[in-house]
């Protein structure tokens, strides 16, 4: 009898182990680490987004160039954290889209002998979704949403399974062949945490890109949100992008 | 890296329409095709084995142990192509240590470990225990030592102990059937839950994966049973082959119906992706989908099996018919996996263009490595069969 009792006790203790682990994890991060903050920067006070005014983009590609230089993105034309697409809608309804080398060297003139109904440029980047499918699928949690709403990748943790690349509906991710880990736009996290603008916003000659606080009452982005009718890409996927487009054409996907 | 850039430049030159700039690289290649193919064979072989134990289909009894060993051999190899495909295989253990529970892929390690440890190894151990104890007494040298090790110190072969073994096998099989469904349904879910990809995103995906798994598993065991009886200069039991062929035929019909339902559903709903997907089916996937998967791999075997099973042909001819049908099914199911994995990456998520996949011959994700992963399970199976002969005449009791 004594042995059965001991066994029962042992099994009960064994059961308690995962239970206490679950309870502990519910308490959130231990207070031991809670004070850890970036010096002078409180992520909890910020929530970032970007507005893109499609009618202001001239397709110069400076943003794509600045991004590559600022973030040490590979120069080869298969890796972009941001790029520019050109849409041409012809009179007969045909639509062509191109983005030669991500639009980094600008665009050559379109076919001239056909009637063009409308044509415009659309800058693209990671949408830093509020409901990000890439974060959902990462098996180890290497990609995550930071407190200030930016989707980041921990490249020392990423196992390189590429599931996040498959899950991104916007083609915003790639695998960096140097680190063999997923990589993407960070809103220039190293700059914005110092109060600077992302490189692509900084260099845009027409201020087509508006970066800022989504929730603060006075910010250039809030002004844009008040003054324009905004849309997001692929809204039916419920990814809740934080990159907002004004004057977005229905042909843009 | 230069090699990669050269490949990407070549791929980019063959793109039709528009793709997002980051889509030049196809991320899940041949090795990720092989992974669901292998797990499908595992689940299928196990479900066939459970037919005998749980549903008491006595005719397929001669294949029971062979099916279990086949499932084990293929399960051992199944995660290898995945591991080889990772950018950082040395970090793969993080999936166990710090799993992200929202991720479908994070469950892989647990589903796999459960299936290997709790279901397959345990069931095989109980099934073979009495024989292993006897072999450890009758054999000499290293074999004796091996059997001693496998028996894990148990030596009770009294009728009571053997009866307990059989009860354990029965219970584990009962747990094993939903586990096998979980194992492969889960693989289907990994693809079916990607909402960004209209070719994958389908609630039917896990079920289609499951039935194609059962089809491929039964076909594989049929091939192996036929082949091994010939090698051992025996005549295969016709009642067993007939039963296998019947099950193969029925599951194949269910599989085809599900695929057709999926196809009609897509066509009828006609969502925004329908244009690019039809372009995909009629250009890049025409050979591997229409010709190989549907005609050669599904309709052909259905006809062949139906004729061979229900006509009055001599047994020799029937057997040849079954054999050819099972071979065609393997080719068909492999292309099913190909069409899902590769097909889902041949069109841009902008739905405006198609890209290409150029398989490499050598290299980490090349054809040779892929063939290696397809041969390896058979080598492991060969060793397992040598160690734990599944034949009825080898049983010591």
Residues of B in contact with A167 (CB under 8 A): 194, 196
CB–CB of B341/B359 below 8 Å?
A: no
Rounded to the nearest angstrom, the minimum Cα separation between B100 and chain A is 5
Give the pLDDT confidence of A69-93 residue by residue, as tens digits.
999 999 999 999 999 999 999 999 9
Evaluate whether the domain defined by A133-183 bears CATH number 3.30.420.10: no
Mean per-residue pLDDT, A84-108: 95
Can you name the residues that pair with B353 across neighbouring β-strands?
B17
Q: What is the rounded distance in angstroms from the CA atom of residue B390 to the CA atom of residue A30?
A: 55
- Output the pTM of the full model: 0.90
Rounded to the nearest angstrom, the minimum Cα separation between A24 and chain B is 15
First to last CA, chain B: 60
Residue A220 contacts B where some CB pair is shorter than 8 Å = no
Is residue A162 left, alpha or beta, with left meaning phi > 0 and alpha meaning psi from -120 to 50?
left
Examine residue B379 and state whether it is found in any structural domain, yes or no.
yes
User: Mapping DSSP to helix (H, G, I), strand (E, B) and coil, where does residue B137 land?
Assistant: helix
Question: Would the CB atoms of B91 and A140 count as touching at under 8 Å?
Answer: yes
ipTM metric: 0.93
Tokens of B189: 């879910």
Comparing CB atoms, the residue among A102, A161, A175 nearest residue B25 is A175
CB–CB of A242/A252 below 8 Å?
A: no
Residue A170 contacts B where some CB pair is shorter than 8 Å = yes
10-residue stretch averages of pLDDT, chain B, 397 residues long: 92 95 96 96 93 88 95 95 94 92 88 87 95 91 92 91 94 91 90 97 95 96 96 92 96 96 95 96 95 96 95 93 97 97 97 94 90 98 95 74
pLDDT the model gives residue B115: 87
Examine residue B4 and state whether it is found in any structural domain, yes or no.
no
Question: Would the CB atoms of A139 and B27 count as touching at under 8 Å?
Answer: no
Rounded to the nearest angstrom, the minimum Cα separation between A203 and chain B is 21
Examine residue B8 and state whether it is found in any structural domain, yes or no.
no
Examine residue B90 and state whether it is found in any structural domain, yes or no.
yes
Tokens of B267: 């066509």
Burial class (CB in 10 A: 0-12, 13-18, 19+), B46: buried
Tokens of B396: 């010591």
Tokens of A187: 């809103």
Question: Would the CB atoms of A137 and B351 count as touching at under 8 Å?
Answer: no
pLDDT the model gives residue B117: 81
pLDDT the model gives residue A26: 61
Comparing CB atoms, the residue among A160, A161, A169 nearest residue B349 is A169
Can you name the residues that pair with A153 across neighbouring β-strands?
A143
Question: Would the CB atoms of B22 and A171 count as touching at under 8 Å?
Answer: yes
Evaluate whether the domain defined by A43-130+185-246 bears CATH number 3.40.50.2000: no
pLDDT the model gives residue A28: 53
What are the phi and psi torsion angles at A48 (to 5°)? Answer: -95, 155
Residue in A160, A137, A161 with CA at minimum distance from that of residue A151: A137
Q: Where are the domains of chain A?
A: 43-130+185-246, 133-183
First to last CA, chain A: 70
Residues of A in contact with B92 (CB under 8 A): 159
Give the pLDDT confidence of A192-220 residue by residue, as tens digits.
999 999 999 999 999 999 999 999 888 89
Q: What is the rounded distance in angstroms from the CA atom of residue A237 to the CA atom of residue A130?
A: 12
pLDDT the model gives residue A29: 53
Q: Do domains A43-130+185-246 and A133-183 have the same CATH topology?
A: yes
Q: Output the domain CATH number for residue B306.
A: 1.20.1630.10
Examine residue B77 and state whether it is found in any structural domain, yes or no.
yes
Distances (CA, A) of A73 to A68, A78, A101, A164, A202: 5, 10, 13, 19, 17
A74, A121, A161: best mutation site toward chain B, by most B Cβ within 10 Å?
A161
Examine residue B7 and state whether it is found in any structural domain, yes or no.
no
Can you name the residues that pair with A86 across neighbouring β-strands?
A98, A121
DSSP string, B244-285: HHHHHHHHHHHHHHHHHHHHHHHHHH--TTHHHHHHHHHTTT
User: Mapping DSSP to helix (H, G, I), strand (E, B) and coil, where does residue A210 land?
Assistant: strand
Residue A120 contacts B where some CB pair is shorter than 8 Å = no
Residue A98 contacts B where some CB pair is shorter than 8 Å = yes
Tokens of B290: 């229409």
Domain tally, chain B: 1
CB–CB of B358/B367 below 8 Å?
A: no
Give the residue numbers spanning the domain of B275.
Answer: 19-394
- The highest-confidence range among A20-24, A184-188, A213-217, B1-5, by mean pLDDT, is A184-188
Question: What is chain A's mean pLDDT, rounded?
Answer: 90
Tokens of A67: 């991004």
pLDDT classification of A151: cutoffs 50, 70, 90: very high
Residue with tokens 């909402």, as numbered in its chain: B195
Distances (CA, A) of B291 to A75, B259, B288, B300, B322: 41, 15, 6, 10, 20
Residue A75 contacts B where some CB pair is shorter than 8 Å = no
pLDDT the model gives residue B365: 86
Q: What is the rounded distance in angstroms from the CA atom of residue B165 to the CA atom of residue B153?
A: 15
pLDDT classification of A22: cutoffs 50, 70, 90: low
pLDDT classification of A34: cutoffs 50, 70, 90: very low
pLDDT classification of A1: cutoffs 50, 70, 90: very low
Residue B108 contacts A where some CB pair is shorter than 8 Å = yes
Rounded to the nearest angstrom, the minimum Cα separation between A251 and chain B is 10
């Amino acid at each position: 009898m004594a042995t059965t009792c001991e066994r029962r006790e042992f099994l009960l203790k064994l059961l308690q182990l995962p239970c206490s682990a679950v309870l502990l994890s519910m308490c959130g991060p231990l207070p031991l680490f809670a004070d850890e903050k970036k010096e002078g920067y409180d992520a909890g006070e910020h929530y970032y987004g970007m507005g893109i005014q499609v009618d202001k983009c001239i397709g110069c590609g400076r943003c794509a160039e600045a991004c590559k230089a600022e973030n040490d993105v590979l120069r080869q034309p298969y890796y972009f954290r941001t790029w520019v697409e050109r849409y041409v809608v012809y009179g007969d309804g045909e639509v062509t889209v191109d983005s030669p080398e991500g639009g980094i060297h600008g665009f050559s003139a379109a076919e001239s002998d056909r009637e063009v109904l409308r044509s415009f440029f659309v800058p693209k980047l990671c949408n830093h979704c509020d409901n990000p499918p890439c974060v959902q699928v990462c098996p180890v949690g290497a990609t995550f949403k930071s407190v200030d709403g930016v989707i980041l990748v921990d490249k020392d943790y990423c196992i390189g399974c590429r599931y996040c690349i498959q899950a991104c509906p916007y083609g915003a991710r790639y695998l960096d062949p140097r680190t063999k880990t997923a990589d993407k736009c960070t809103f220039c996290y190293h700059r914005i945490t110092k109060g600077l603008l992302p490189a692509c916003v900084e260099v845009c000659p027409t201020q087509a890109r508006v970066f800022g606080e989504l929730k603060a009452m006075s910010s250039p982005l809030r002004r844009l949100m008040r003054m324009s009718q905004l849309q997001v890409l692929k809204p039916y996927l419920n990814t809740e992008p934080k990159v907002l487009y004004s004057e977005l054409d229905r042909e843009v996907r | 890296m230069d090699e990669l850039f050269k490949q990407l430049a070549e791929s980019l030159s063959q793109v039709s329409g528009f793709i997002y700039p980051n889509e030049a690289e196809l991320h899940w290649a041949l090795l990720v095709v092989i992974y669901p193919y292998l797990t499908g064979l595992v689940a299928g072989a196990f479900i066939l084995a459970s037919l005998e134990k749980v549903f008491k289909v006595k005719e397929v009894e001669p294949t029971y142990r062979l099916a279990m060993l086949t499932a084990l051999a293929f399960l051992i190899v199944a995660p290898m192509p995945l591991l080889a495909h990772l950018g950082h295989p040395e970090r793969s253990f993080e999936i166990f240590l710090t799993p992200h529970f929202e991720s479908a892929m994070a469950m892989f390690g647990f589903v796999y470990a459960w299936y290997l440890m709790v279901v397959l190894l345990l069931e095989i151990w109980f099934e073979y225990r009495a024989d292993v104890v006897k072999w450890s007494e009758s054999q000499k040298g290293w074999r004796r030592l091996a059997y001693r090790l496998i028996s894990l110190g148990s030596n009770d072969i009294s009728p009571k102990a053997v009866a307990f073994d059989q009860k354990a096998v029965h219970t584990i099989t009962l747990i094993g059937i939903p586990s096998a469904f979980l194992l492969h349904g889960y693989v289907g879910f990994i693809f079916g839950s990607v909402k960004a990809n209209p070719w994958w995103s389908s609630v039917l995906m896990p079920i289609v994966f499951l039935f194609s798994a059962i089809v491929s598993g039964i076909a594989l065991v049929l091939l192996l049973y036929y082949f091994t009886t010939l090698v051992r200069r025996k005549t295969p039991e016709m009642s067993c082959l007939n039963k296998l062929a019947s099950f193969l035929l029925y599951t194949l019909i269910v599989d085809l119906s599900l695929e057709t339902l999926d196809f009609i559903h897509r066509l009828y709903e006609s969502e925004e992706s329908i244009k690019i997907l039809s372009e995909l089916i009629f250009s890049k996937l025409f050979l591997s989908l229409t010709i190989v998967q549907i005609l050669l791999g599904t309709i052909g075997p259905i006809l062949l099996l139906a004729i061979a099973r229900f006509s009055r042909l001599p047994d020799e001819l029937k057997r040849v018919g079954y054999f050819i049908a099972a071979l065609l099914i393997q080719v068909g199911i492999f292309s099913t996996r190909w069409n899902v994995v590769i097909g889902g990456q041949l069109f841009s998520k902008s739905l405006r263009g198609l890209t290409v996949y150029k398989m490499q011959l050598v290299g980490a994700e090349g054809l040779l490595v892929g063939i290696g992963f397809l041969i390896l399970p058979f080598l492991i199976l060969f060793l397992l069969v040598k160690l734990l002969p599944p034949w009825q005449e080898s049983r010591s009791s």
